[in-house]
Structure 1
């Protein structure tokens, strides 16, 4: 799996393994170390190092990170770095805050070492949990598509491997992985999904539930990619800018399929500095298209206001409504997205 991932990534010459010391990432490090010792993958030169991120969220985390680094050096990985991070609250929850801090650290270490690929140890079980959490939250296609095998410089070679198999790799390699106590802490939704929900589903519905959930994610990744490509192209074609404001013509938005229209609205919000809107906020913004005259604003996450501007309010120079849209206050000419605070220089 590692060999295939590196081939798909174009055979990066310098690779880092992100390792917490847990069984998944330690097993990944052991497999990657094999190619590092050989010095090549399919005849392409490769060197393999590692980075351990200490989030400082648990007592003794420094000792855990140091032990992981020792194990990685014994596997032959070089260089091995421990990077300590401060996890700042982001309003998106502790897991998201830790992930953001970790990814920033991984990107920094990769740049410092000239690595063009970072291997992450997520497994099929992690993917299944991700899909279940997305379902429970009522998320859209992008969330249900789960984690990507490749996302920029991040590679996840073990997404087709079960967690039990990484434990077997550690046993065969004589490794003693660290077991994160938070993985069994019922305070976290992901831990409850892992310890309580998935085992019940496997028991009641039969084996193969995790594989089916992961397969669903793979299918939805293709759908999500296609819809986002269409939405991005449509957004680029329709957008109009005036200072810090961005606007989209109402008539063109009305003609779009709902799956594309909602994505275009979300893309517009992001383009003026907003965050990904939830479904209810997207519904509220999209509903402006069915109002009479000028309406709004609807507030979207990240400090974005969206409102509709009627044709009667447009300046003469801006009266470029598409053919078939009658002029006058009874119809809206544009959906306008405005940042509540101008972007800082």
Structure 2
């Protein structure tokens, strides 16, 4: 995988350098070629993406052909250098979120592909507007090829989509913050193309940013962000990874309450502010999210109440006993309805059931639920039901 390039605006770098330099005694030189700008102090400092891509992650990989587990130390940018036949093992917790060092490596790889404007172009106005083919190609050629996931692929894809989506949006914001210049016209900004981005894609992105509705939305987003008064102290490590490490250290399950306290307290034990102490992990949840569990956790899984709809009936997994009793009552009700219908048909057919209906009535009235709620009945373990309701 090619090294992730940091996006720096050469024109801005030159202006910043000249603003701090003493006034020259000779005429200022012309602007140099943007393709070879003189690096500034800020440019020599590694970005977060660069730090992640250069960090060596100790991970385990499986050789499926020989059924051998190997230990590797791997940088995110070296993911394509893994020998063929080896796949990085990624563990998941009970909320279907990746944990361990492999989760850190996976998140770093997501960051590299999300900020690659060839793999995920910036020219689309919103993430849902990106054709699904972009993600499918990365799933086929990268994630499914280089990683061994211990859960159903639907859960994996949901996490990857969320992770890449977030990083893609953040990358576009940073890119615009770096290259937007009120002193330049729209045409001048378009002509100042970032490295690694095609001129056509950059022009479409700039046009989108200059739309009045986009600027209004950005203003609202800025106002909403200012209302977010509860910072966390989790850093770059995901909540799922920190929770997993804490559970390994203590040997106990860690709930949402302790996790909220952990990621909203300083080292001295004080909350980051009074608001964090007041709210805790209580209160209404954002749609599709679970407070205190981080990216990837959804209510249908976190609250152990995944729901699948079948002919107007809901089957929940929050309580296996109550679910089984509920199903038994439903089946009994259906059986009684079928018997009444059979009696009605017989009375209108002179006591005889038509041949084409006899097998249907026999199968319908003889079915009885098993101890687990009936074989073939959908349950909360189906990842597709979680994806639909998430």
More strand by share: 1
Task: Mark the structure with the bigger radius of gyration.
Answer: 2
Give me the TM-score of the superposition, normalised by structure 1.
0.30
TM-score by length of 2: 0.27
